[in-house]
């Protein structure tokens, strides 16, 4: 945050350095289920950001002392790969990534029905492959899709976006330059349906009026991202809807759950009643 920098980031027509309007998102692309070995995964591109998220679990929680007998714990690791930024990032967790991991896991903890899986852990891994400002938002956006892809019960899918202030103007979804030389940065994550805010941080200063405007822009953008997230999941499971019109398929629940075991013919004592 450069504070009062002379750098001109918005021109007279209200067009930003990358050609966007002040309330315009960067192009966003989401793909669900990209990793085979994880229970759920998602790949997200927001402008030049490239983020991969993988979810494992619910699985047995190790170490044992971290288990919670009442609910599942969400362990999140946000990590920036050494080549994700222009100066090589020293690998391994640092103060920033520990903070972001905590933030994201707390945001997800609120939305996941953790009480369904006591004593387990749900592990979320977020890898930033390429960073260009707003990776915590992209990471959370990806993690939410990955959780849904893993079939984990949750209240809703969480979209996340950053709003900021650049050249005394409130702008949506800051890019690298705006983040570095702007005046404020306000990442938010929310449940669009209810308006509940799951994550909010602020770097820099905003007046009350600017903050209200920023929130309004953020809420609108979250709804947009939410639709992209849902679309990604629908595409992933498209086969379900495709070609399903012509004929009803067997309802899985109709299957003889009471006698799930298929008996081998050589064991007459276990033969089915019917």
Partner 1 sequence: MNNESFTRELVLPGDVLDAGTMKPGEGTYVDDGKIFAAMLGIKSVKSNFVNVIPLGGRYIPAPGDMIIGKVMDIGPSNWLIDIFSPYPAPLHVNEVPWRVEFGDTARYLGVGDTLLAKVLMVDETKRVQVTMKEQGLRKLQGGQIVEIAHSKVPRVIGKNGSMIQMIKTYTNCRIFIGQNGRIWMDGNMEDMAHAVQAIKMIDEGAQTLKLTERVKEFLESVYRKEE
118 binds partner 1 (CB under 8 A): yes
15 binds partner 1 (CB under 8 A): no
By C-beta, is 92 or 264 nearer to partner 1? 264
Part in contact with partner 1 (CB under 8 A); list of ranges 89-97, 100-108, 151-159, 211-219: 151-159
141/136 Cα distance (integer angstroms): 8
Contacts of partner 1 in 184-203 (CB under 8 A): 191, 193-194
By C-beta, is 61 or 171 nearer to partner 1? 61
In whole angstroms, the minimum distance from the beta carbon of 119 to partner 1 comes to 6
Q: Which helix (H) or strand (E) holds 28?
A: strand 28-32
**CB-count burial class (<10 Å; 0-12, 13-18, 19+) for 220:** middle
Q: Do residues 189 and 111 make contact, with C-beta atoms less than 8 angstroms apart?
A: no
Locate 38 and state its tokens.
Answer: 């994880």
In whole angstroms, the minimum distance from the beta carbon of 28 to partner 1 comes to 17
Scan for tokens 């949506």, then name that residue. 172
In whole angstroms, the minimum distance from the beta carbon of 144 to partner 1 comes to 9
By C-beta, is 33 or 182 nearer to partner 1? 33
Q: Do residues 79 and 140 make contact, with C-beta atoms less than 8 angstroms apart?
A: no
Part in contact with partner 1 (CB under 8 A); list of ranges 20-28, 95-103, 124-132, 147-155: 147-155
By C-beta, is 19 or 248 nearer to partner 1? 248
8-state DSSP, 16: B
Residue 40: CA count within 13 A, CB half-sphere: 22
CA-based R_g, the chain, Å: 22
123 binds partner 1 (CB under 8 A): no
Mask: binding to partner 1, 19-48, rule CB under 8 A, as x and -?
A: --------------------xx--------
Who contacts 77 (Cβ-Cβ below 8 Å, separation ≥6)? 93, 101, 123, 124, 125, 126
Closest-CA residue to 161 (of 40, 30, 28, 18): 28
Residues at the site binding partner 1, with contacts judged by CB under 8 A:
39-40, 57-60, 69-70, 113, 116-120, 148-157, 191, 193-194, 230, 233-234, 237, 239-244, 246-257, 260-267, 269-270, 272
């Amino acid at each position: 945050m450069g504070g009062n920098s002379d750098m001109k980031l918005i021109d007279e027509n209200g067009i930003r350095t990358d050609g966007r309007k002040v309330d315009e998102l960067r192009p966003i692309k989401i793909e669900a289920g990209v990793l085979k070995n994880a229970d759920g995964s998602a790949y997200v591109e927001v402008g030049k950001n490239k983020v991969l998220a993988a979810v494992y679990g619910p699985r047995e929680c190790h170490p044992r002392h971290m288990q919670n007998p009442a609910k599942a714990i969400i362990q999140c690791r946000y990590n920036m790969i050494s080549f994700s930024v222009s100066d090589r990032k020293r690998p391994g967790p640092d103060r920033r990534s520990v903070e972001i991991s905590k933030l994201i896991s707390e945001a997800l903890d609120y939305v996941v029905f953790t009480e369904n899986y006591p004593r387990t852990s749900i592990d979320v891994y977020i890898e930033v492959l390429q960073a260009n400002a707003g990776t915590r938002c992209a990471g959370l956006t990806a993690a939410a899709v990955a959780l849904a892809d893993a079939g984990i019960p949750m209240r809703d899918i969480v979209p996340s976006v950053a709003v900021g202030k650049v050249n005394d103007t409130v702008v949506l979804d800051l890019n690298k330059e705006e983040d570095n030389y702007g005046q404020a940065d306000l990442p938010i994550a929310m449940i669009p349906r209810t308006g509940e805010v799951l994550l909010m941080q602020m770097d820099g200063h905003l007046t009350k009026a600017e903050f209200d405007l920023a929130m309004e822009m953020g809420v609108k953008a979250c709804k947009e991202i939410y639709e992209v997230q849902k679309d990604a999941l629908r595409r992933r499971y498209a086969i379900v809807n495709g070609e399903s019109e012509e004929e009803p398929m067997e309802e899985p629940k109709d299957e003889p759950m009471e006698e799930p075991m298929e008996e081998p013919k050589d064991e007459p004592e276990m033969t089915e009643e019917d």
